[in-house]
A and B are shown apart, each in its own frame.
Chain A
């Protein structure tokens, strides 16, 4: 089937304004008759629930954490982009739009990206009004920094904790609505099923993580803002609880999953130290503003302390390969370049899987105090984890899975192919194409939440009658039975391996075969191995305790069960996409200099997969991508 994103036609500059005008409205007195469920309270979910409540809808919001303030958006460090052009350096909405399309390697929808760029400026104003303490200069104006993939300074920041401050802004707006009674908050709830009645999303089934009770909630619309899936690699920069569960359950109920193979490997993470490791820690890409990446030119120097390697024996490989963007090359390019150096046996640190990020020159130029003011918390974090002082010796970094550009397929209204099911933020596939630029995730989450969904959910609700299906419907009862059956099955296996052992096995298969570089051979291998682990999981996993209690092993096992199905789809999508683009690098498709080689003739489309049953072939639906405002070009940062 050919999918239609239903983007407005005509001049792109006015597309969102025209679409907003054409979108139907719900009369203020009628809004309170509708109920909207919002799953996830990160930047997208928190920012969606608050204005929906303000508008007068009844909102019920859910998160698996113990508070709406803890979603993993909180860990974003560097900043948020906006096209304010305050520094007078040539920025504009068009330039942000262009950079985002190009950064995504021409695999995103133009209209969605234009809208994102347009509302980016409103986001900054909104956050300032909430009391977000953005960095300011001595005259009192908002400060900007540079980020990868852009030649202008458009990134707004709050020390090294921008995600935290923006999330707390959204959380405070949400808290205000909780107080006002328009939003009801359900914490420590994990969504385990989407309830679909006659093809329309009507509610969700959750597990109360404190009591183990299975609960159902009805809504006239369901909004998923449940984040990304890179924990499929086991080791990633995501929080431990991040999973594909909510979106995968929706996929199993008919929502198409788009471009799952677009995963981002972030270049500046702290290298792994051993098998015991439970997660990887990212350090903001903003470090590349002042840090220089290098490895020794000679293999024999790799064992020496960095200080003993002479300047002329250092290979500043990003500056060498990409003179115009240098250390600020986009993430996919910087990550692959680091891997190349290590594959060339010039890596440093344990296992030689690391490159240096050196601040010596910046400290000499600006002084340690300035560097500490910009990145102090990152140096502190680095020292806590590695026991090394980044001011005195270069940091060691290595790429790690970080973000998923793929997600549930949505149209221009952020609605999936299942009517009534909306998907926001990292959970959808919409704006980042095959690679996300730094400081754009925060922008997307808040854009979708504050400034897109309040209009588009209204447009949908205006076409449906409120409260048509409630939790007494047979589909809700069936959903509870299905969820209970899955839990019972997990608890009854009583095998020999723990969920985390099996998750680690899956992670290794994914990282080695579906990681930074993929080939037909490696993907075929992954597609052989993943079902084997899945089979072992369903025969040999050991989950202790019972369902009717606080049971973290059961939570982990449930999430892993979904990763084991989803991982296969990810590998299938990667195998299908016979080209390299952005974060998806197929070794068969590269130029002589090792750069990604796109195939616009055959793959200029979004791949949306329809679930056809566990172990069965999913069906591919394509949404062709049209570029009327930017020219498809080879992405160059040289």
Chain B
């Protein structure tokens, strides 16, 4: 099939950017979206033009590196799908596709579709861990954890840190991202010891990084390629409240 692409091009962090139009003329329905872009880039390179810069790595939906807004939707809007797992069979011949980078002040653009997500790392560095030392820990079965709790913790832990949640939120809020780490650890005995300190530190850091607050739009949940539920934001709020109480 043939497609017309409108792609955000921006030379560098401080350069002005604009949408440029390209044609993709030999698109197979079995191709992934990124493989389609690879082919567009091959043509650009042969013409001596600057290919489109975009982040990608594992191409199997788990590393969280790929990050594009396609027709206004993070990762293209297909349920539980990253850009790299989006396949061209969900488009049809003659479609026009708009491709933009993540849009959030806290994710500054590096080039074209590649952005800097260092602020997500900073939120984790603020407290997204248990402060256990390497070695000298208890046997894995010393503390029993019910299946329901282990499953709940795993549901939260599925986050791949791609940034789609904040990029889709009208407030650029990182609340879903922060909440899944808070929730994952808050329900486990190993994480409960530091639960209060953790939630406060992570939220303070998110604010300092320039992410907004949550006003219940739920765009994050809709955009999340791992289907992470906003119930974890409610959990975060409860944990935050508990932390504020004396």
Contacts and interface: CB of A to CB of B under 8 A. Distances in A.
Interface of A: 50-51, 54, 65-70, 72, 74-75, 84, 86, 122, 124-131, 133-142, 158-159, 161, 164-165, 168, 171-173, 175-176, 178-179, 185, 187, 210, 237, 239-241, 273-274, 276-279, 281-282, 380-381, 384-385, 387, 450-451, 454, 496, 498, 500-501, 542, 544-545, 549-550, 552-553
Interface in B96-112: 110-111
B191 A131 contact: yes
Given A67-B117, A133-B151, A165-B157, 13 more contacts: A51-B135, A65-B63, A125-B139, A130-B132, A134-B150, A141-B144, A179-B125, A210-B116, A239-B59, A276-B35, A385-B32, A501-B42, A542-B48
Given A136-B147, A239-B59, A66 B45 contact: no
B129 A70 contact: no
A558 to B, nearest CB: 15
6 contacts: A67-B118, A68-B121, A128-B138, A131-B185, A187-B121, A241-B57
Nearest to B86: A384
B63 A75 contact: yes
B244 interface: no
Contact of A65 (B57, B60, B127): B57
B89 A500 contact: no
B219 interface: no
B24 to A, nearest CB: 11
B245 interface: no
B117 A385 contact: no
Given A134-B150, A140-B146, A544-B51, A129 B35 contact: no
A66 B116 contact: yes
Nearest to A273: B30
Contacts of A241: 57
Nearest to A128: B140
A171 B161 CA distance: 12
Interface in B162-218: 184-185, 188, 190-191
Interface string B44-65: 1110111101011111111111
Contacts of B133: 54
B130 A130 contact: yes
Interface string B68-103: 000000000000110001010100000000000000
A316 to B, nearest CB: 28
Contacts of A159: 154
B140 A544 contact: no
Nearest to B60: A281
A494 to B, nearest CB: 8
Given A68-B121, A159-B154, A544 B62 contact: no
B55 A66 contact: yes
A175 B128 contact: yes
B126 interface: yes
A457 to B, nearest CB: 13
Given A165-B157, A553-B45, A72 B57 contact: yes
Nearest to B150: A136
Contact of B57 (A130, A210, A240, A387): A240
Contacts of A164: 62, 158, 160
B138 A70 contact: no
Contacts of B49: 544
A545 B124 CA distance: 35
B186 to A, nearest CB: 10
A74 B63 contact: yes
Contacts of A274: 28, 30-31
A173 B135 CA distance: 12
Contact of A549 (B12, B58, B140, B185): B12
B14 interface: no
Given A164-B62, A381-B85, A549-B12, A276 B130 contact: no
- Chain B interface SS verdict (over half): loop
B53 A72 contact: no
Interface residues of B, number: 78
A223 B160 CA distance: 26
Given A172-B128, A178-B125, A161 B140 contact: no
A126 B125 CA distance: 19
A171 B120 CA distance: 12
B134 A450 contact: yes
A158 B146 CA distance: 14
Contact of A130 (B38, B50, B190): B190
Contacts of A550: 12, 53, 110-111, 114
Contact of B85 (A86, A173, A276, A385): A385
Given A86-B141, A187-B118, A553-B45, A384 B87 contact: yes
A500 B160 CA distance: 28
B219 to A, nearest CB: 22
B118 A161 contact: no
A133 B154 contact: yes
Given A179-B126, A387-B89, A544 B147 contact: no
Contact of B145 (A54, A136, A187): A136
Contacts of A131: 129-130, 153, 184-185, 188, 190-191
Q: What are the 5 A-B residue pairs with the smallest beta carbon separation, nearest first? A: A140-B144, A172-B129, A129-B137, A51-B134, A133-B153
B23 interface: no
A542 B44 CA distance: 11
B20 interface: no
Contacts of B143: 128
Contacts of B38: 276, 278, 500
B212 to A, nearest CB: 21
B188 to A, nearest CB: 5
A138 B141 contact: no
B34 A278 contact: yes
Contacts of A140: 144-147
Contact of B65 (A65, A129, A136): A65
Nearest to A69: B161
A277 B89 CA distance: 15
A491 to B, nearest CB: 12
Contacts of B128: 172, 175
B129 A175 contact: yes
A50 B134 contact: yes
Given A239-B58, A240-B59, A545-B50, A133 B184 contact: yes
Given A131-B191, A140-B145, A552 B150 contact: no
A38 B56 CA distance: 23
Given A66-B116, A278-B35, A384 B85 contact: yes
Nearest to A494: B48
A329 to B, nearest CB: 25
Contacts of B127: 179
A129 B150 contact: no
A164 B226 CA distance: 13
Contacts of B63: 65, 70, 72, 74-75, 239
B45 A542 contact: yes
Contact of B46 (A136, A381, A498): A498
Contacts of B39: 276
Contact of A54 (B11, B65, B134, B190): B134
Contact of B124 (A122, A141, A172, A454): A172
Contacts of A380: 80
Contacts of B141: 86, 141-142
Contacts of A239: 57-59, 63
A529 to B, nearest CB: 23
B135 A451 contact: yes
Contacts of A544: 44-45, 48-51
